[in-house]
Structure 1
Amino acid sequence: MTSTRPLRADASRNRRLLLAAAADEFAERGLDASVADIARRAGLGKGTVFRHFPTKDDLLAAIVLDRIDELTTAGEELLAAPDPGAALLEFLTVAAARRQQRDLSFLQEAGDLNPEVVAARARMFDLVHRLVDRARAGGAVRADVTGADVILLMCAPNYVISYVPDAPPDLWRRYLAIIFDGLRPEGAHALPFPPPTV
């Protein structure tokens, strides 16, 4: 699906246009979005789509990979932040904001069978564990919270507001703040069940 050779400037531009158009088209029409509509939205021909992405599954996987790579890059930069609690909150904010910008929640399982997506997701999950470990060691996160807990909570702010008709665009921030307060050690009660493994 991906080549090890760097793309020419025009090919790289076309790929970016296609991924943005496909993400918008899938967000509006779901997985039934057509390649013809994606090409039209990108201002390119269908042949260009198939040169970059031989199948619709390849295109879906590329969108998922782009999202994961953006989050992983942001998280890696935050690992060096001096305040580990603020770094974890910033990472969760970036994750929720990017999800809010373009609702692609239905793509959650789109790349599950793609080995590149599986590997990228594992790298991102490892990164979340490291961010949580740093925040816990710094006293910003309660001792019984794990990376697996935070991974499962990452989608929660946007999931909650999906039930609010005509939700204001920043409503997710309210629920992220509630979630993050629940992660803090101040006033915490022991959790009633052990954490899952993710």
Structure 2
Amino acid sequence: MPSTRPLRADAARNRALLLAAAADEFAERGLDASVADIARRAGVGKGTVFRHFATKDDLIAAIVLDRINALNAVGEQLLEAADPGTALLEFLTAAARQRQQRDLSFLQEAGELNAEVTQARTKMFRTIHTLLDRAREHGAVRADVTGTDIILLMCAPNYVTSYVSEASPDLWQRYLAIIFDGLRPEGAHPLPQPPPAVS
């Protein structure tokens, strides 16, 4: 695992370049992207990659961790929002926009065994549950929706549009609006199944 000590400015810059280059490379080539190609894209040598990330798996975990932390930071800020319903919608919008900009969902499984990723994901899930609790208490979301429902629905707008060839890059917004309308209490009907027992 990379050191937790503060990085010098040049090392921090190289790390940021590597993560951005690796994310682009993985988005284009999938898990077959090579460390050599990532280093070339970042404008550094392979040795620089391995000074920051001992293995390719560590690099993948760092990308996943950065994305989770960025999304959780948005969620934590929204916990202070005056309108909890709008806050939940803004969080789901941020999640969909992150995936639309660069869909790296296939890296999630590769980062599953990393302890830091697991901890960060658990922290983000707690934030999501709290955002939902606030929205539900405010009457903005139907009472039978759970945090697990929200977690599963986060991927839905982009997943749906992935089946549309040459879709507008903003088409996910249409499906997020449909999904969020389904979360509202107005006109809600009882759900036919309980939520899955996972979080």
Q: What is the TM-score of this pair, normalised by structure 1?
A: 0.99
User: Partner residue of 1:131?
Assistant: 131
Aligned to 1:108: 108
The C-alpha deviation readout for 1:103-148, integer Å capped at 9, x for no partner, is 1121121111111111110100111000000000000000000100
Q: What is the RMSD of the two structures over their aligned residues, measured on CA atoms?
A: 0.7
1:15 equivalent in structure 2: 15
Tell me the distance in 2 between the aligned counterparts of 1:2 and 1:167. Answer: 39
Moved over 2 A (4+): none
- What CA distance in whole angstroms lies between the structure 2 residues aligned with 1:40 and 1:4? 25
Measured in 1, the distance between the counterparts of 2:9 and 2:190 equals 54
Paired with 2:22 and 2:30, the residues of 1 have a C-alpha distance of 10
- Residues 26-58 of structure 1 show CA distances to partners (whole Å, capped at 9, x for unaligned) of 000000000010001001111000000010000
2:29 is aligned to: 29
SS in 1 for 2:96: helix
Residues 87-102 of structure 1: pairs in structure 2 closer than 5 A: 87-102=87-102
Match of 1:108, SS state, is: helix
Q: Deviations over 1:145-194 (max 9, x none)?
A: 01000000000001111111111100000010010000000000010111
Helix, strand or coil at the partner of 2:110: coil
Shift of 1:4: 2.4
SS at match of 2:151: helix
Determine whether 1:188 maps to 2:185: no
**Which 5+ residue runs of structure 2 have no aligned equivalent?**
none
Partner of 2:42: 42
Superposition TM-score, scaled by structure 2 size: 0.98
Task: Indicate the SS of the match to 1:62.
Answer: helix
Match of 2:70? 70
How many Å separate the matches in 1 of 2:107 and 2:175? Answer: 22
Q: Distance in 2 between matches of 1:57 and 1:92?
A: 28
Q: How far, CA to CA, are the matches of 2:6 and 2:167 in structure 1?
A: 42
Give distance in 1, aligned partners of 2:32 and 2:190. Answer: 45
> Is the counterpart of residue 119 in structure 1 residue 119 in structure 2?
yes
1:163 aligns to what? 163
Q: What is the one-letter code of the residue matched to 2:167?
A: A
Contact 2:2/2:54 (<8 A) preserved: no
% identical aligned pairs? 79
Equivalents in 2 of 1:192, 1:158: separation in Å?
25
Summarize deviations over 1:80-125 as a string: whole Å, max 9, x none: 0000000000000000001100111211211111111111101001
Structure 1 residue 69, shift from structure 2 partner: 0.2
Within 2, Cα distance between the matches of 1:74 and 1:189? 31
Q: CA–CA distance in 1 between the matches of 2:62 and 2:72? A: 15
AA in 2 matched with 1:106: F
Give the gaps of 5 or more residues in structure 1.
none
